[in-house]
Structure 1
């Protein structure tokens, strides 16, 4: 049991050591005691509970989230990026870096990589290291032409990723979305478009963003979706878009004509790819991610900690609801 004077001395030493980063030698000189006494009192402070050392291991918490998502949805891998104390741009960079690492590990057996478009893929490519590869081709999975934010377009993402690895890439010179189904049917027959779409069917690895058409939508920002179409998509229960095609909360393609106006590989073709890496950032995408996971469109999910926590909370809500319904049925 510490007396008041001994406790006061330990607190003083601990503050100098832990808060002011003084060495034990410096503390000993300052207080007129020996260095071994300083060391002994620091240890005594820990033993008596005067000093508590807490290590905040973000990986421990995110690892639990990863295991939960992998188990519930049968994912090959879930990567949850610690995001506390990060601003939005830093979160995108951190998720981009994690995605680049996962892609780099996953391309060893791949011959063709397909890329979609969007902010998260832009950051993945931005964080991708320069690492020379051979016998690899990058293929854009959806059209995208124009002058606005071209760095987000699939062609540019394919080009920049190919440049980082010193490999070839294709370009899909067509809009992501056209005005009519008839125009779409005509364009996909053009040789330079049809050949790239055929390449898209042969990819070993796909990298796609998961969007929310009704909140902070990149497609809306690019002018692909006006307010009338957004309202129609809402009425069709759309909650997510993958490769510019829309799905409902169960992962089923929406019964809306816009899905037939996209120039790119379709959702069934995406589902047939051996490995699909889905990247999404932001709690506004929780329903979108859930829809993509329910539809089995992605095998690997990469997201930030805040979003993953919201996903886990949503799963708990569903579990509690089913438990409540089961109790009512049994009474």
Structure 2
């Protein structure tokens, strides 16, 4: 590039970006055609004479969304800006964003399935009251017990149905039972079998993703003890979705506690039109990545820090 050409590109760039003249106005002033101005402005950017910087917190989250969405062919990724927010406020902001997203995607939905856990409890807590009396809410996994009852799927399904002004089902069984034989007996009872069959016909599923080894709701409630944790670790489990334990490649772990879970299998989620996962916490990155590799969800909604850690892991930088 000659000095004269560089001077010309800088001149039209100043007129366009600083003086805010249109390309046609600049062309008239300098005595050339508008296409020459257009090509000149593009060349100024290509040569590094002009650098456009967007000072917007949301800009980073958009890049994160696009990177994750493209890598796993997802329908949607929503990264909620939460940088520098106190933990409780960040959780509330994430839950409100997730609730808003769900409400916008209720068109052509008649049955909603929902799982359980702290993140989904917070989601329903932030859900606005909006009448959808034609809907029905169905728990996707068993939910009985006296410990932290507000986190169980039956209670979450009931609370969501109240917010939506609609009906709901209850799955009268624990999420995890003592033995595979007991689970098989439960699956034969009409009250359990009918609800699980209906759960397979939902139009939209809302699920959480968990790390069984850190900040685990299942361990807190008592479903996971030292024996179970050893078993799933030996099986290569890195996370769970709807209480189904999965390995790093996204496959369902075999010969584990999975055989004692009362709920729909994650394989059934592949037949659901819309599966939305709401996840909070960078300690769940391995579990999120496994879920994405398994192709179990269509939409991921998460906080900014978790998305940053996830993309670093995807790039092999962690």
| TM-score (normalised: structure 2) | 0.81
> For 1:102-127, what per-residue CA distance to the aligned partner results, in whole angstroms no more than 9, with x for missing partners?
11011111010000001111111111
Tell me whether 1:249 sits opposite 2:248 in the alignment: yes
* 1:271 is aligned to 2:270: yes
Query: Whole-Å Cα distance in 2 between the matches of residues 250 and 278 of structure 1?
Result: 18
Give the gaps of 5 or more residues in structure 2: 1-52
Mind listing any 5+ residue stretches in structure 1 that lack a counterpart? 1-53, 321-331
Deviations 1:38-94 (A, max 9, x none): xxxxxxxxxxxxxxxx98522111011001111001010000011112122222111
Aligned to 1:178: 177
SS of the aligned residue for 2:143 comes to coil
Residue in structure 2 matched with residue 65 of structure 1 by the alignment: 64
* Displaced runs of 4 or more, over 3 A: none
Q: 1:21-41, CA deviations, whole angstroms, 9 ceiling, x for partnerless residues?
A: xxxxxxxxxxxxxxxxxxxxx
What residue in structure 2 maps to residue 75 of structure 1? 74
Q: State the distance in 1 between where 2:231 and 2:179 align.
A: 16
Distance in 2 (alpha carbons) for counterparts of 1:175 and 1:228: 19
Deviation for aligned residue 1:98: 1.0
Deviations along 1:164-188, one digit per CA (max 9) or x if unpaired, are 1110000111100001111000011
Rounded to whole Å, the distance in 1 between the matches of 2:120 and 2:315 is: 30
C-alpha separation in 2, matches of 1:163 and 1:108 = 19
Deviations 1:182-208 (A, max 9, x none): 100001111111111111011000000
The separation in 1 between residues aligned to 2:187 and 2:86, in whole angstroms, is: 41
Count residues with an aligned counterpart: 266
Q: Higher Cα Rg: structure 1 or 2?
A: 1
Give the CA RMSD over aligned residues: 1.4
Cα distance per residue 1:131-174 (max 9 Å; x no partner): 01132100000001112111111111111110011100001111
| Deviation (angstroms), 1:225 | 0.5
Q: Which secondary structure does the structure 2 equivalent of 1:188 belong to? A: helix
CA shift, 1:257, in A, is: 3.2
Given the alignment of the two structures, is residue 139 of structure 1 paired with residue 138 of structure 2, yes or no? yes
- For residues 1-331 of structure 1, the aligned pairs below 5 Å read 56-317=55-316
